[in-house]
Structure 1
C-alpha cells in the first residue's frame, strides 16, 4: 500500500467509461435495465428448480440452478459499482474495497470456469454412459461437485491477489477502467515487479487451458457418440441441447481468453472496457436465455407454476 514517496495509498479513482453526461445517463439506464433483467431471469430459474420436485432431483438442473446463482453473484460483483460510478462523476474506491472487488470478480469468474467443466462432465456422462449416469451423478454426487467448484473457485486466486495487494504504487492512483482489474492496477505499481506477473500468468493459464481442454474433450466425446446409429432417433434433440452449452462456453472463454491471454490486449483501455462489459454484464443476461429458458423441461415447469398461480 506504500507509494514511492512513502505515503500510503488509501484509495483509487476509477475513470469509468470517460463519456459525456448524456452518454452516462444512457449507459446508466441501459445497464440498470440489463442488471434487473439478469436478476429476474436467474431468480426465475432458481425458483423453478427449487419448487419443481422433478427438476430438483435432476443433476443437470441442480447444476443450472447453482450456475444461475453464480451468475447473479458474478454480475453483482461489478455492475452495481459501475452503476454507482455512472451516477457520480468521482469514482473513488478505497484500497480495501478495490482489492475485495478484484478478489470476488476473479474468484467468481474462476468458479464459472469450473462450473462449465462440471456441466460438460454431466452431459458427457449422460450421453456417453446413460446406464451408469444415475448412479455416478446422483443428487448427492452433484452437490459434492457443486461444492468443489465453489471451493476451488475461491481458493485459486488468493495468492495472486495477495501478492498484487502488497505492491508499492507510484505517481498515480487513477485506474483507467470501471472496475479493479489486475492489468490497470499493475500498471500503477512501482517497478520492478519481480515474478508477480509471471506467477499471475501461471495461475491464469493453468485455469484457462485445463478447463478449456476438459470441456473440448468432453464435448468431442459427446459429438462422436451422436454419430452412432443408436442415436439416430434422438440425435437432433440431444445435439440441440449441447449446442446451447457450447454457445455459452464459447461466449465466456472467447471473451476471457481474448482479454487475459492475448499479449497487449489489456493495454488497449477502450477495447478492454468493451470486452469486460461483455462478459460481466451481457453474458450473465444471455446465459439464462441460452441455457434454460429455451429448455423444454424448464418451460414446462414454468407453465405449471403459472397455471397454479391463476
Structure 2
C-alpha cells in the first residue's frame, strides 16, 4: 500500500510538472522579435484603432465619448462573464506604464507584462497577424488619448476556467502565432483586404461558429453562428446564398461606409458599432475588405434557431 501511494504521488507530481511546463506562456506563445522599430506613425495607429473597433469594447459604458477607454464592459459567455479592461494611458489603472514590447506581446501572444495568459475573449488570435510595427503605431495612438481612472472588475468565471494557466492548454490546441503573410498570387487589393479582415478587423471572431472550448470551427469560418454572448445570431459573410453571395463588391463597401444594405435596410445592434468604425477607413480599404470577402468560398453555416411566437 505504501509503495502504491508513493507511485501515485510521483505520477501526480510528474503530471503537475508537465502541466506547468506545457502551459508556460512563453512556450505556447513565444514573443515576437521586434528589433529596432522606426518612429511610430500615429495616423496609421488611428486607422488601425478604427479597423479593430477598439472603442466598441474598451470604451467605458454609459458615456458618449468613445475614446475614454476605461473598460468595464461585461461580456457574457458559456464560461462566465469577462470584464473588458481599462486600456487608457492611465499609469495605475490602464496601460500607461507599458512599453512598446509589453503591448506587442499582449496583442500578438496573449501574454501580460506580468507573464500571465490573457483569455482569448481578447482576440489576440487575430491580432497576432499584425506586424510589430503596426502594433507599435496602434500603441502610439492609444497613448495620445485621455487617461481614465478606474479598473474594471475581475472576470467571473466557473472552475476550471478561472485558472489562467488552463489557457496555456487552449493555446497548445488552437493558437497559431504566425504573422500575416501576403499571397503572392493575389492582387495588392486582395492582400490588403485579407489583412484587414483577418487581422485588425478580427471579423471571424464574431462571424464564426465555435466549439465547446470556445475555439473557432475552421470548417465554418466566416459562416456565422450563435452570438458568443448568447444574444441572437451572427450572419454568414461567405459567398453562400444565405450570406453575401448575391452582394456586389460595391454593395459590401457601401454597407461598411453607411450601414445600408442593398435592400435599403440599415444594420443595427453590434454591426452598427462596427460600421461607425469602418466608416472611418478610406474608400480603398473598404473596397479591399469587400474584394477579400467576395473571394471567400460559399460555406453553409449552422442552422439558425427556429423563430418562436406568432
Output the TM-score relative to the length of structure 1.
0.25
Higher helix share: 1
Q: Which has the higher contact order (CA 8 A, sep 6+)?
A: 1
